[in-house]
A and B are shown apart, each in its own frame.
Chain A
Amino acid sequence: MPKRLPARWQPESIREFRTSARRRFDEGMALAAAGYRAGAIYLWGYSAEMILKAAYFSLLGRSETAVLTWVGDILPAINAGRAMGIAWPVAGQGHNVRAWAELLIAEHAATPGAAYPPLFGQEVQACGQSIGQLWSETLRYHKNVAYLYEMNQVREAAEWLLVSSNAL
């Protein structure tokens, strides 16, 4: 009897986030090609979220396979972002792609010698803003069809984060 899907999951970690971000991005492309724009956006938003979280915890020095938890890692990161003055609303706080992008930029800036080059930092922020204006995890509750330009904006931003993930 094969193990069920949840039983086959690895614990959440930087490595797991990075590989599943790639997988969700590809699945989003398949949905987009089949005309399911909102479904594509839904997956690309998560893909971006995982890329940014992986980059942030990597910057903090977590190992690739260290287990990341809500109480031990995610929530303290959100609170650190709020303490830095980043606008981080409570609703859907773990999934706020715009805020995660800004936290990553701010943490780089606060680390000696690690600040992003200005244009690169602006692109990271713009990708977070682009996705943040069109995506939220509650997208699944809504029947609306996304416009083509909206799908393209989210795809371009998620794709840029994915191809830049080694530099984040």
Chain B
Amino acid sequence: MRHIEQSKRRTLIVMNYIALVLCILCFVWATNTHGNVLAIILAALTFAGLIGTAFYLYYKTGYMFLANARNRQLLDERQSKERMQAVATSYAIYGVYSILALAFFTWFVNENGRTRIPVLDIDQAIFTLAIYLVNILPASIIAWTERDLPAGEE
């Protein structure tokens, strides 16, 4: 498991979420402009940034494994509690996100299933964000909160 300093991890997490938001916005822009070339290029670039930061931050460091390990015996007590805290926080965040998404569909989507504001045709964006959050949130929280190892233990 590769160790990354906490400050660098936090910077990468922020970059990852910024890339996610920009990627979704560019896809919405491309959809609403029926394939604007600049929007597609920007969407592809931000998508590459999103995948790159996620791979480096969550896969290379092993945080993805820590958050999703099926066998609890592989984790020590500290890791187990960290993961529990991360899952509980993710559960709360995802719960709030779901309620807000449902409120969006109730208030802004008309009886034909289309948004009342044409610029905000963001149903797919809401789903994409939801699915990404479900998978990444626990690993993000562990990566954000875990302290640096004492010098010499890396």
Whether A and B are associated in the same complex: the answer reads: no
B residues adjacent to A (C-beta < 8 A): none
